[in-house]
Structure 1
Amino acid sequence: MNSKSKHRSYSIKIPALPEVLNPLTTLINGGLKSTYSWLEIIGKQLAATMEQIVMDDSDLVTLEQVQAAHSYLRTQRDMVRTPTLMHVQSLFDEHLPRSDSGEGIDLYMKMENMQTTGSFKIRGVLNQMRHIQKKHGDDAKLVTMSAGNYGKAFAHCVGKRPVKSVCYMPVTAPQNRVTTIEGMGVEVRQVKTAELQPSVDRLVAEEGYVYCHSFDDINLIAGHGSSALELLEDVPSPDVVLVCCGGGGLVSGVAATLSLSGLRNCRVYAVEPEGAPSMKESFKTRQPAKLSSVSTVATGLAPPYAGTLTYKHCHWFVEDVILVSDEEILNALRILYNRGIRAEPSGCAAMAALVSGKVPDVAGNKVVVYVTGGNVSCLDMKKFVGEDDI
């Protein structure tokens, strides 16, 4: 079976016959307005299905690529197998959603904040660098752009090389992250968010640098997918998986890996900040979206655009994109902190979606929350949590 047919077999969603007939029942019971809503939902499902039929899926990650990345990463001392906290709903019971009958959820947490360099990023970067080295050799000058966590993982991998490497960062990036990356041996250049990509492109064109994309890269996506293979060892049949989404590299890898592993009924949601909804806008327009500006406390989830590859993966494998406010993100941060879990705002978005009640139909289900990063300074934590609580 070729890659294309494998991807199609797991992603097309055609409304079942009862769903198609339901508008007739609704018309009788609820009137034209509610019937129109049902027809609109079915229309969107059919439109998405038709789009998948004509979309080229040849550049989607394969399970074999994820498995190869996983095998490689297991040999690397810079990558650890992060723990999955299991059946921990009682730790957060007062904050978790319940059904009208009082039924709760079975909660699992994938702790990528405990990964080397403090976030999941090292998974993708190690696999990405392996392929770049094969293609360009050891002497290639490397450039990337990052709000912090990718840049930190990038610097961890390349900062000691004798060849110069550059990381462009937005002026909104936390200063402690700038200092950290510079201290690891990579030159940092800060520019406005809208100037990140043009600055990288100029360096590639004029000085021969090799661009290491911080999210829109197939080898990066495959590396991130390794976390889902670990998750399946701990939770073989999750029902709902919530993943923080910035550029979308992690959720692309996780969602694709779960789907291609045969979990047809598992719903994976990407969670973005309201102030940086690039993937949500992409879902609306059915093409990768660019944002004129971003504003969120979760600076690691605020790229100026959605990637072409990551949008395509999310379109194929992600159930939907959920937006959370900065207030909801910081509330989730405090909830985690009060249970001894150190997470940065960008790492809390998935938890924020759950505790704010924005994830549909979770009662009675196995729900996995990805905590994706813990790179937050004590000074910032004081500001987020409150000095009296530190």
Structure 2
Amino acid sequence: MTRVRYIADSMTEAITAARRHHGMGVRIVHAGARRTGAFGRALSFEVVIEAATRTSQARRAAREAMARAVMVGRLAADEANASLAAMTTGPACAAVMARLGARLRAQSLPTSLVDHVLGQVGAELQSAAADEIELMAQAAAVNAVAALLPVAAAHTPRRADVAGRPWIIAIAGPTGVGKTTTLAKLAAEWRVARGLRVGLLAADSFRVGAVEQLRTYGSIIGAEVRAANGATSAREALAALAGCDVVLVDTPGRGHRDVGRIGEIASVLTALRPDETYLVLPGSASARTLEESSDAFAPIGATHVVLSKLDESEGLGALIGAVRRGGTPTSWFTTGQEVPDDIEHADAHAFARRLLAEPSVVETKF
């Protein structure tokens, strides 16, 4: 190794000169200011480097040339792809696709699904005329997003035979997702609109006011209510509701990280043997919380998912990710607190239109 000194009017110039002659990876062993001239009044800067042998210099230069060539190649490929896209779709189509991608990401749709939707829409727009792009893109996006959400109609309870067993539906999920309100909406629909004999089983006797809340709903719609605490008393309460056509079971809310207590809910459901179990996932939760909830409540053996609080959601795409993660189809949507209103059968296209709708802006003047 040979040491070489570079002196310049500024430190930047000295380092630049050293790197220009010996490569960007040159080893600097000293850098500092130095005074020269009479009485040391002139200020300059020096950089001392260790210069490699000619062979090492040649290898380094070859590596740097290769790296530059690769970078230039990538930039050329990107420019070629961009030019091809512009020639194929035109600026109007590119703008529509950009807005669609931004909307999907704003709705917290997983990245892989955003790419899938954009690919589907892009394929549909290959032959679109300029004046059709907006409408075709919207229709294609709705279809693509709707195809991502698994939907299955839940069983519609009917009047049981005299000696028949009630149709049992358990409703479970994390704390505060709207389980009891969802139960009340379903109970009102089947009791008032269909005239079925509805029973309500409160397995959530730990939460303050839970049983009283259910008794209030029951008294309003004329439904019989029983309370239970544990698997044994749940079976006894269910036996007392044997004369009903349908029994709705309100389970305790548990945090999605409270694995032990979620296991207790699963034990109660095993004792009751429900015909259907609804897992309630709220639109107001984050993508991470929804995914963790889907995983945590797997032991309850959900047959359907209820997507609640859609009116409060700022990221409907996260619900799609959670439903697909759990592999259980949706059956109901809830969109508010009103009982018996604000509940509807799951419709993938309606969900997609809600997700893709531009947010309304309210202007306030002072």
Same fold (TM over 0.5): no
Scaled to the shorter chain, the TM-score interval is: under 0.3
Q: Which structure: greater strand fraction?
A: 2
TM-score of the aligned structures, taking structure 1 as reference length: 0.25
